Amino acid sequence: LLRPQIFALKYSTATEQSNQHSKPSRAPLLIGGKFVESQAAESIDVLNPATQEVVSRVPLTTKEEFKAAVSAAKQAFPSWRNTPVTTRQRVMFKLQELIRRDMDKLALNITTEQGKTLKDAQGDVFRGLEVVEHVCGMGTLQMGEFVSNVSHGIDTYSVREPLGVCAGICPFNFPAMIPLWMFPVAITSGNTFILKPSEKDPGASVMLAELAMEAGLPDGVLNIVHGTNDIVNAICDDDEIRAISFVGSNNAGMHIYSRGSANGKRVQSNMGAKNHAIVMPDANIDATANALIAAGFGAAGQRCMALSTVVFVGDLKTWENKLAERAKALKVNSGTAPDADLGPVISKQAKERICNLIQSGVESGGRLVLDGRNIVVPGYENGNFVGPTILSDVTPDMDCYKEEIFGPVLLCMQADSLEEAINIVNKNKYGNGASIFTSSGAAARKFQTEIEAGQVGINVPIPVPLPFFSFTGSKASFAGDLNFYGKAGVQFYTQLKTVTQQWKDLPSGVSLAMPTSQ
Ligand code: NAD
């Protein structure tokens, strides 16, 4: 079925070389331990968002190739699940070392395919690397429970067993961190995995898989398929796949959640966001303004934890001026430029959508404090750049407020009290994260108790939890019941088995009464 052309060159090196010469290479599939070129007739171009150059191409994996990937994962499962957890951990110890070694290459690939600045791309890799480090302790994370002598001579214990073949479907905005939220947890707990990277920036996933193979991962434990809707639907429908991790938009996420669940799979689905900050009049002015700028405009607003809306309690004007001063000073440039604060957005369509939402905000009564729509970056005139934009006097009925913008746009709103501000936030359908900036413990405590959001920040703008906790979006930002990574992540990829054992001199006689503890 598969052309036996194994990628002798590393994908990163192959991409560099093909860019220097003629036709960009196609991202390889990884099936049964081999990087192979897809036989698919169709592929999608991966464009550098700063230049529109074709960086690589993504094949639309054929049905046969998909089946081969699932079959490889199924075959690899029995031996991998029986591999001692210490051995599985050692592969992760090695992987974290290799990711550190190749950090710069990974970051450059992310900047080239996704657009974010090199420094931000390193952060993308680093936040995923932390998950790899965490799963090096899988023996403890996966530990079961034991109660001795639940009845005379009888003990009960539970063990967490892997599910089998699991799959992950990724978004474009964190090409390294999000695959690393998924496969390290799944495979170190004994599962095998099918990864479907974003078709917009598949390179980091392929490079991470190369590193996992170099770290000693047995063939078939991690597999990669590429494509869009059809391959995603094939994942949702395949009988061998037991669980699906998804991160991306609500449209795709709810579709995958419904279709995967209807087919009897576990699904965890992290989706869109509209993260709010509430700023109290007693907040530290400089620290708060800096935090709002960083969290609103970092990664050109393309983070699921971007703070896209600020509700100021009390005066709005002083804050607006402070924010505008700082936002104007930000450097918009290609992500490879050493002084760049923010790079381009992912595509021309994304830029158009962002600009349309800004315009609709203006037409429905919003006031532009700073307009970044017409920015031109010298040397990168074809790039999808949107400069920092601040839109004020925003109200909850506006489309720019109701929809996730996913661009460098900060919406400013005003409330007369903390109560009113909390009400505004809680009425929004999304519940990924919310922050408060204040010097009052009482206000912070009220906010933490009453706010309906999965991740809460107090004087902290982007509370993406470290891997010993879990990423806990709520309301329309999450579907499922076991969150990504941390204890919940391990629970998602494992099932409990409860064992009751009896070791004693056995009594004589038969009793048909319901056994009760004696
Ligand atoms: P997207 O939903 O367009 O794509 C995500 C994945 O789903 C891709 O692999 C894509 O091929 C697939 N897909 C897209 N549409 C599909 C369809 N109709 N049927 C089947 N599969 C489909 O998302 P994106 O634009 O890549 O990522 C941005 C979104 O992700 C934003 O909404 C952002 O908030 C969200 N996000 C959420 C989190 C979180 O943890 N909550 C983290 C990162 C990104």
Q: 56: helix, coil or strand?
A: strand
Atom of ligand 1 lying closest to residue 196 CA: 9
The 10 Å CB-count burial string (b at 16+, else e) for 227-251 is: bbeebbebbbebeebbbbbbbbebe
- Res 12 pLDDT > 70: no
Whether complex ipTM tops 0.95: yes
Q: What is the pLDDT of residues 41-67, one digit of tens each?
A: 999 999 999 999 999 999 999 999 999
Whole-prediction pTM: 0.96
Measured CA angle at 432 (ends 257, 493), to 5 deg: 45
Nearest CA to ligand 1 atom 42: 304
**Lowest-pLDDT range, 12-21, 23-32, 172-181, 391-400?**
12-21
pLDDT confidence of residue 509: 87
Q: What is the pLDDT of residues 395-451, one digit of tens each?
A: 999 999 999 999 999 999 999 999 999 999 999 999 999 999 999 999 999 999 999
Name the band, by pLDDT with cuts 50, 70 and 90, for residue 4. very low
pLDDT confidence of residue 422: 98
Give residue 31 CA to ligand 1 midpoint distance, Å.
24
- Res 199 pLDDT > 50: yes
DSSP E strand stretches across 48-173 = 54-59, 145-151, 154-162, 165-169
Q: What is the pLDDT of residues 256-290, one digit of tens each?
A: 999 999 999 999 999 999 999 999 999 999 999 99
- Res 381 pLDDT > 60: yes
pLDDT confidence of residue 517: 77
Query: For the residues 189-211, what does the mean pLDDT come to?
Result: 98
Query: For the residues 441-465, what does the mean pLDDT come to?
Result: 95
pLDDT confidence of residue 20: 55
pLDDT confidence of residue 508: 83
Atom of ligand 1 lying closest to residue 477 CA: 41
Nearest CA to ligand 1 atom 38: 304
Give residue 139 CA to ligand 1 midpoint distance, Å.
32
Give residue 247 CA to ligand 1 midpoint distance, Å.
6
pLDDT confidence of residue 507: 74
The single residue of 304, 355, 400, 412 carrying the catalytic annotation is: 304
Our mutation pick for probing the ligand 1 site, out of 232, 347, 484, counting the most ligand atoms within 8 A of Cβ, is: 232
In whole angstroms, what is the distance from residue 363 CA to residue 377 CA? Answer: 27
Q: Is the CB of 169 under 6 A from ligand 1?
A: yes
pLDDT confidence of residue 13: 59
| Residue the block writes with tokens 């934009």 | 389
One-letter amino acid for residue 437 of the chain: F
**What long-range pairs does 484-491 form, CB within 8 A, spacing at least 24?**
484/181, 484/182, 484/245, 484/247, 484/268, 484/270, 485/131, 485/134, 485/181, 485/185, 486/134, 487/141, 489/181, 489/185, 490/138, 490/141, 490/142, 490/160, 490/185, 490/189, 491/160
Quickly list DSSP for 389-450: EEEES--TTSHHHHS---SSEEEEEEESSHHHHHHHHHHSSEESEEEEE-S-HHHHHHHHHH
State how beta strands 455-458 and 433-437 pair.
Answer: parallel
One-letter amino acid for residue 8 of the chain: A
pLDDT confidence of residue 303: 96
Q: Provide φ and ψ at 59, rounded to 5°.
A: -75, 150
Nearest CA to ligand 1 atom 21: 229
Identify the CA nearest to 108 among candidates 95, 124, 92. Answer: 124
- Res 27 pLDDT > 60: yes
**Lowest-pLDDT range, 232-241, 276-285, 482-491, 507-516?**
507-516
Give residue 221 CA to ligand 1 midpoint distance, Å.
24
Atom of ligand 1 lying closest to residue 270 CA: 41
Q: Is the CB of 199 under 6 A from ligand 1?
A: yes
pLDDT confidence of residue 91: 98
Q: What is the pLDDT of residues 241-260, one digit of tens each?
A: 999 999 999 999 999 999 99
113 C-beta neighbours (distance < 10 Å), count: 26
Burial of 46 (0-12, 13-18, 19+ CB in 10 A): buried
- Res 6 pLDDT > 60: no
pLDDT confidence of residue 10: 65
Q: Is the CB of 473 under 6 A from ligand 1?
A: yes
pLDDT confidence of residue 3: 38
Angle between helices 203-214 and 11-20 (to 10 degrees): 140
Instruction: Specify which residues 498 forms β-bridges with.
Output: 158
Name the band, by pLDDT with cuts 50, 70 and 90, for residue 23. confident
Identify the CA nearest to 224 among candidates 12, 30, 480, 61. Answer: 30
* C-beta of residue 115 within 8 angstroms of C-beta of residue 203: no
Q: Is the CB of 433 under 6 A from ligand 1?
A: no
Query: For the residues 465-483, what does the mean pLDDT come to?
Result: 97
Query: For the residues 476-493, what does the mean pLDDT come to?
Result: 98
pLDDT confidence of residue 2: 40
pLDDT confidence of residue 21: 54
Task: Specify the higher pLDDT residue, 463 or 241.
Answer: 241
In whole angstroms, what is the distance from residue 430 CA to residue 421 CA? Answer: 15
Task: Please name the residues in contact with 294: beta carbons below 8 A apart, sequence gap of 6 or more.
Answer: 461
Instruction: Specify which residues 412 forms β-bridges with.
Output: 310
In whole angstroms, what is the distance from residue 151 CA to residue 279 CA? Answer: 57
Name the band, by pLDDT with cuts 50, 70 and 90, for residue 462. confident
Our mutation pick for probing the ligand 1 site, out of 200, 247, 302, counting the most ligand atoms within 8 A of Cβ, is: 247
pLDDT > 90 fraction of the chain, expressed in percent and rounded: 91
Give the Å distances, CA to CA, from 271 to 26, 246, 433: 28, 8, 12
Name the band, by pLDDT with cuts 50, 70 and 90, for residue 463. confident
Burial of 371 (0-12, 13-18, 19+ CB in 10 A): middle
pLDDT confidence of residue 15: 61
Average model confidence (pLDDT) across the chain = 95
- The answer to whether 304 is a known catalytic residue is yes
pLDDT confidence of residue 380: 98
Give the Å distances, CA to CA, from 440 to 283, 311, 316, 446: 8, 17, 19, 10
Alpha-helical runs (H) found in 278-316: 285-297
Atom of ligand 1 lying closest to residue 256 CA: 20
Task: Specify the higher pLDDT residue, 5 or 319.
Answer: 319
In whole angstroms, what is the distance from residue 242 CA to residue 164 CA? Answer: 6
**Lowest-pLDDT range, 9-18, 415-424, 441-450, 477-486?**
9-18
Q: Is the CB of 248 under 6 A from ligand 1?
A: yes
In whole angstroms, what is the distance from residue 401 CA to residue 392 CA? Answer: 11
